[in-house]
Amino acid sequence: MVTKKQKAVIGAAIILSLPFSRLTATSFGPRASHATGVVSVHPLFKADEEPGQWMTGGRDWRQSYDSPLKQINRHNVGKLGYAWSSDIEGSSRLEATPIVVDDIMYVSSIAGMVYALNAETGQQLWRFDPGVGSFANLYAKACCGPVNRGVAFWKGRVYVAAFDGSLYALDATTGGVTWKADTIIDRSRAYTSTGAPYIAGDLVVIGNAGADFDARGYISAYDIRTGKLAWRFFTVPGDPRHSFEHPELKMAAKTWDKDSRWDAGLGGTVWDGMAYDPELNLLYVGTGNGGPWPQIIRSPSGGDNLFLSSILAINPKTGRLKWYYQTTPGESWDYTATQKIILADIRVRGKVRKVIMQAPKNGFFYVLDRVTGELLSARPYLRKLTWASRVDMKTGRPIVSDQARYWKSPRLIFPNVGGGHNWQPMAFNRETGLVYIPVLEMGMVFGLSPEPFSYKKARPNYHVNLGWPDANGHFDFMCETAFPACPDAEEVLKGQPETPPQSFLRAMHPVSGKIEWEAETTRNNQYKNRVGRPGGVMSTAGDLVFEGHLDGTFDVRNASNGALLKTMFVGNPIVAAPMTYMAGGVQYVAFLAGDRSDGAKSRVVALQLDKNIVPPPTQSQTAAGMESRALPPAQMSQVTERLVSKGRQFFEQNCATCHVGGNAPSLIPLREAAQRQFFDIVLGGIRANKGMGNFSTILSADDATAIRTYLIKASQESDH
């Protein structure tokens, strides 16, 4: 929380909240717009008057992922079936939610490719390719692959941020480029763009990714008509020996060690969640984790390290901060606050409050007054949460447990680095008054890397070792590669919660924190029997909540009680949130179905009532003749364990983030084609256009040989 002195600097006090016991349960009004003047501010915010459209990533300016449509409802959803599908490019996981404006669907796929489709038929009208394949080396500068989380629309233009950091304004009719802006301030560092742009008045705002490498976080605002830079707000200070870019950084610098690792960037990147209130004219921005992760390395003397893992309220006309709230002071666990932000008007202590809601990675669900930043509620949405016991409602700070201090010794900590809830959108239904959160209950063993920290330019700079649990809760400590000596599993796990990971869809009252219902959604991914993340969520006034899954199933539940009403097999993994719209008097439900298998083509799938089952996806040509089992190498018995150990270490450092439950296909088992082409793929970049870039500037031929050897050995073991 801010001090009195800090409040004076930024010119807006955060009001300390009353104790939670004095708050009442929420109540909710009708779906009509509560914000006066919204229609006159911007046509984008007329969503309540045009319920058949889905105009932003979260449908409306509230980013609620909730629709007032109810042609499809709990009484007839059993008749939901296939309407159409349209193949799109993308061998990496697809994370965008389509938007629909005036019967045209706009959707992005990997690296910022954009498609315009007829919303009734799926016919492709145009396609935009930002050409980042020519920036193949950039793919090695991302923790999580060349994903893209969507587009923005404003008065005949579509806005998209390409993976290489270029922001484009496209003509919505033709797909032609109206203007282009370079959002990257230092191309020698590992900056990329993976989030959707947000419209704030007459500006389009975008952040960047790269905190796990060496990026320094910031957001950039551009004139929506011309693309001219209006202002830039940095989320962490630079070296205080130099001048600060704006006054908020002078205050923030006081929360950092003066000898912090300024050379490493420090993180705080804004790679996803934002929202804009047109009535208050405030832009809300969620910020990311610190880099390196352990604060003891990043800022040795401690401090809150503002503005890491925070929610910022910024006046978009001036670019100045009105208030902030930090969810994880001194962040050391990759607990970002970049998750989706929802705006709502709900009743607290008998009074309707304008609130902002977020379920960041750290496991607590926050409700703040969006005018002042006052903390109204902070309840856990996880049942297993050990890094902190609670949030002190008087100070707004989490009570951090000793269990969280992995820099002392390896510790099992809940939640894991991916958080209890990540980028997958949650939904807020104004009819039920519930928030629907896709949750992963999974811990992880954290340990401080034993070697002295050495900053690596444009490379991962986590400086932690991680032990991942499999679906049964057994940990792989990666002894002799990551951990210098294998931790005593019995000692590390002693007294801690049981470790088998599980995922759930939870329906929760936002202020009381009561879980009204939950449904287990656990799905295993393809890597070492590990549990994958649940998909994003959408709800409707038809008393329905929709969610897709990694195994290609698509579920529809009763929003009031969680009863499963319909399940469909689509055939592609689904992780992005679905959406719904009206075209030609018919309600459709649509979503991206992404490809992680190198077999089936990615596609947009649309559903409607009284239709047939969803046909399987078509196969890509690259999948022809490709075997799913690993080939036994001719001379595997002669390979030394040292080479395998080295390969495993390089794999975990450079590949695992994407290929272990991430955005790219599993490499265990390593397929025949991948074995044959391994060096052309990794060092030659022959699959750069599919999201797998050229790593020749990072890995030597010997390094690549070691990784290939490890994967073949692991593939053999997976067959037994």
| Exposure b/e, 563-583, CB count within 10 A at least 16 = b | eebbebebbbbbbbbbbbbbb
Residue 584: half-sphere exposure toward Cβ, Cα within 13 Å: 7
Distance CA 260, CA 266 (A): 8
* Dihedral (Cα; 391, 392, 395, 398), 10-degree rounding: -40
**Residue 334 catalytic?**
yes
Among candidates 325, 308, 442, which has minimal Cα distance to 382? 442
Q: Given the residues 164, 334, 369, 703, select the one marked as catalytic.
A: 334
E strands within 618-666? none
Distance CA 263, CA 451 (A): 18
Sequence-separated (6 or more) residues with CB below 8 Å from residue 134: none
Q: Tokens at residue 16, please?
A: 């300390």
Q: Tokens at residue 200, please?
A: 């704030």
Sequence-separated (6 or more) residues with CB below 8 Å from residue 5: none
Distance CA 281, CA 297 (A): 38
Among candidates 348, 177, 175, 321, which has minimal Cα distance to 252? 321
Distances (CA, A) of 248 to 6, 10, 236: 9, 7, 9
What end-to-end distance do the CA atoms of the chain give, in Å? Answer: 53
The answer to whether the Cα torsion of 102, 107, 112, 113 is positive or negative is negative
Cis peptide before 307 (omega within 30 of 0): yes
Distance CA 280, CA 553 (A): 40
Phi/psi of residue 663, nearest 5 degrees: -100, 0
Specify the 3-state DSSP secondary structure of 6. Answer: helix
Residues with active-site annotation: 334
